[in-house]
Amino acid sequence: MLFRNILAKGEAATLTEYRQARKGSPKSDLVNESQMNQLGYDLLRAQRIQDAINVFKQNTEDYPQSSNVYDSLAEAYARDGQKELAIKNYQRALELDPKNDNALQELKKLQVKQ
């Protein structure tokens, strides 16, 4: 549903509605971490990278203790050529989960390219 709304209304309007619904019912799992992450990856596959970045950013706000959401945000930044932000978010993913091998490997690649 969120994917269709983003395509129809745009990411900004859709995320505003999402935030309002979440604020009105904070304990409700309107969309869980995994579903929001999947939405971000669906947007990446559709070449809507900035929309994906904004969805992943929202997920970091909703789940700030999840290494996975920072890893996903970093991947989107890397795909967008924003290496500094990708590095920052991979580092955050590793702070939250030092065993996050994907973040470690991608961080090494990005730091070599600098």
pLDDT tens string 21-33: 878 776 666 678 9
Torsion of CA 29, 61, 70, 77, to 10 degrees: 120
For the chain, list the domains and their CATH numbers: 2-113 (1.25.40.10)
Q: Closest Cα partner for 97 from 57, 63, 67?
A: 67
pLDDT at position 112 is: 83
Give the separation between CA 87 and CA 47, rounded to whole angstroms.
21
Give the residue with greater pLDDT, 11 vs 57: 57
Please give the distance of CA 68 from its chain centroid, rounded to a whole number.
Answer: 9
Residue 11 has pLDDT above 90, yes or no: no
What are the pLDDT digits (tens) for 47-100?
Answer: 999 999 999 999 999 999 999 999 999 999 999 999 999 999 999 999 999 999
